[in-house]
Structure 1
Amino acid sequence: MSFAKWVGGALGWSFGGPIGAIIGLAIGSLIDGAAEQKGFLLGDGNSQNRQSSRPSSRHRTQSRTRTRPQTQSGDFEVSLLILASVVIKADGKQDQSELNYVRQQFVSMYGKDRANHAFRLFKNISKQQIPTRKVCLQIREMMDHSSRLQLLHFLFGIAKADGMVTDDEVSQIYMISGYLGISSRDYSSIKAMFYNSSDNAYKILEITKEATDEEVKKAYRKMAKKYHPDKVIHLGKEHQKGAEEKFRQVQKAYEHIQKERGF
């Protein structure tokens, strides 16, 4: 599969708006020849395909007042690439271990060929000045909550790839989570999965140490439902693997508290 066909076939709602502009610029530096660039940006020349790739303003207005369109795997992938580039540059440098983490994660999720396409795009995205707020607001408007939580989990994984999460990275991810419409409780829950402390198990379940045993059990059921891999099944099997990691962290946190309290 050619690079142009891979990207063109992967994008849905992310083809427009600020994300579309970022991707268009990145593609422009990767694809030689005006004809081939036109083929990517406009589909196969069929007007019906072009209209379906980028919703009309009327359709976008209707989607705001009704329900979000289902996020495609490609939309999630592109959102991931852009936000990953923001986090990696948060401390003023691109650490090789973080770049390796991104590449390894994409190989794990997509296989070597697709990962190579994605990483080529990522390197060109990372050269741009990203309008973080605008990008996040587009994602927030179009992407379901469970998928946004999965984005946040991946971003913390990138920050931790070099062995530590810097204050600059934490600040950047916190800002991104706010723009994405993720609550402070959900943010703290996912953040706790990447730290070791005595109260992390409680933070993951979004409760305090003062919670009763029954409240712990109730919190576990709630979080297990929230982070269940089936919540992102529409993104494809490749993204369920990341969701399974969050789910395991919830189970591990609950088992820790069970052992600690002896119930």
Structure 2
Amino acid sequence: MSWLGKMIGGTIGFALGGPLGAVAGAAFGHTFVDKKEQVYLSSRPNAGDTLSSNEEAQLVFFTAAFSMLAKISKADGNVTENEISAVEEFMKRDLGLDLNSQQTAINIFRHAINSNESFDAFAIQFYSVFRTQPNIIELLMDVLLRVSAADGSISSKEEVMLLSATRIFNYSNADYARLKSKYVKETNKYYAVLKCDENSSNEDLKKQYRKLVSEYHPDKIESKGLPEEFIKFANDKFKEIQEAYDNIKQERGI
């Protein structure tokens, strides 16, 4: 993550403002300037000291994800060992973060827990950047649900936050229910992955499978110039879609 060195070194002249900027500034130990400001220390920073659009997207995703995970982990008053393990799994397995990046994520998580900013404030700023990228929204919803269910169930307070995220992200109730069923047994998880139900016809399943495979195909994801964290996460999603369809085909004898 090329942006990480700039953050740690405090060389950024223009970065994100808002609630995510406050948490990132505390985590990195220096103050960021809102990207909309016209002047920074009486002069514009050098091009090498600014974030590219992709780097800024990475910073927003990284800060928002771990800030929102912190708030939802603390929803019941205490962060449990199971929730911590789920967050660590997200860092290591899904995002493939190195040790330096893991420590940065932990710092953001810790500062966000005690931040005066709300879960909704983080979600709104995240959505302002990724509103046109539903795949990334779904990936974040997935990990929020995974951490919420890490203790074996989703509490009422966690559910309030999750449902608030669905409203902010314009994420449908049907998609939320299907995604939730991956972690809280309500329907067959393989149908949830394909965004279908057990009454769907074989032809509808096949159409949905092809649609999702096209959306999450590694070549298509990489062609969008998305941050590297998304690419690995999307590749895992691609494999999950294939596994789900293979299992349903076996169950149905297709």
TM over 0.5: yes
Q: Secondary structure of the residue that 1:82 maps to in structure 2?
A: helix
Contact 1:192–1:203 (8 Å) recurs in 2: yes
Which deviates further from its counterpart, 170-179 or 185-194?
185-194
What residue number does 2:249 align with? 258
Whole-Å separation in 1 of the counterparts to 2:198 and 2:251? 11
What residue number does 2:235 align with? 244
Question: Any gaps of 5 or more consecutive residues in structure 2?
Answer: none
Contact 2:63–2:108 (8 Å) recurs in 1: no
Q: Is the alpha carbon distance of 1:211 and 1:7 closer, same or farther for their aligned partners in structure 2, counting shifts above 3 Å?
A: same
Matches within 5 A, 1:230-241: 230=219, 232-233=221-222, 234-241=225-232
Q: Is the alpha carbon distance of 1:150 and 1:198 closer, same or farther for their aligned partners in structure 2, counting shifts above 3 Å?
A: closer
Whole-Å separation in 2 of the counterparts to 1:174 and 1:247? 25
Whole-Å separation in 2 of the counterparts to 1:258 and 1:22? 46
Contact 2:119–2:161 (8 Å) recurs in 1: no
Q: Secondary structure of the residue that 1:15 maps to in structure 2?
A: coil
Q: Is the alpha carbon distance of 1:9 and 1:217 closer, same or farther for their aligned partners in structure 2, counting shifts above 3 Å?
A: farther
Whole-Å separation in 1 of the counterparts to 2:237 and 2:176? 13
Which deviates further from its counterpart, 126-135 or 236-245?
236-245
Which deviates further from its counterpart, 250-259 or 235-244?
235-244
Matches within 5 A, 1:1-263: 5-7=6-8, 15-24=16-25, 26-27=26-27, 31=29, 37=30, 41=33, 47-49=43-45, 72-108=57-93, 109-143=96-130, 144-196=133-185, 198-230=187-219, 232-233=221-222, 234-263=225-254
Opposite residue 135 of structure 2, the aligned amino acid is: S
Q: Is the alpha carbon distance of 1:202 and 1:11 closer, same or farther for their aligned partners in structure 2, counting shifts above 3 Å?
A: farther
Whole-Å separation in 1 of the counterparts to 2:136 and 2:5? 25
Whole-Å separation in 1 of the counterparts to 2:239 and 2:69? 23
Question: How far 1:198 moved relative to its partner?
Answer: 5.0
Opposite residue 47 of structure 1, the aligned amino acid is: S
Question: How far 1:15 moved relative to its partner?
Answer: 0.9
TM-score normalised by length of structure 1: 0.74
Question: How far 1:48 moved relative to its partner?
Answer: 2.5
Contact 1:76–1:235 (8 Å) recurs in 2: no
Question: How far 1:107 moved relative to its partner?
Answer: 3.9
Question: How far 1:172 moved relative to its partner?
Answer: 1.9
Q: Secondary structure of the residue that 2:78 maps to in structure 1?
A: coil
Whole-Å separation in 2 of the counterparts to 1:154 and 1:231? 22
TM-score normalised by length of structure 2: 0.76
Higher relative helix content: 1
Q: How many residues align?
A: 240
Opposite residue 7 of structure 2, the aligned amino acid is: W
Whole-Å separation in 2 of the counterparts to 1:231 and 1:45? 41
